[in-house]
Amino acid sequence: MAKDSPVTIHRNERILAYMTVTIIGLSIIAIFAVLFGGLAQADFTSGIWPMVAVLPIVGLPIGLVFMIVLLIVSGRRRAREAAAAVAVPAKKK
């Protein structure tokens, strides 16, 4: 029977997860801003619009890389924890 132990998320994983969600969320909001700006016939060459238009092009690939890194880090931690749970110390007589 497996021991019920609390799942701990390390600080690095939590920070990486928040960064991933933030970058992807901002990129999706920027996509909608560009769509609505296009409907309103906004001038995309001045003000903040050039940055808003470029944000999804840069942000989504960075968010994808962060997501892959998060999966790798989490997988390695879980593999280490599983290996430590299987390794039983030798009993002394």
What pTM value is reported for the model? Answer: 0.76
Mean pLDDT value of segment 65-83: 92
CA atoms within 13 A on the CB side of 46: 3
- Coil, strand, or helix at residue 32? helix
SS3 1: coil
CA 32 – CA 26 distance, rounded (Å): 10
Q: How far apart are CA 74 and CA 67, in angstroms?
A: 10
pLDDT confidence of residue 65: 97
Mean residue pLDDT across the chain = 87
- Across 28-45, average pLDDT: 90
CA dihedral 37, 64, 14, 23 (to 10 degrees): -20
**Calpha distance 83→76 (Å, rounded):** 11
What are the boundaries of each domain within the chain? Answer: 12-82
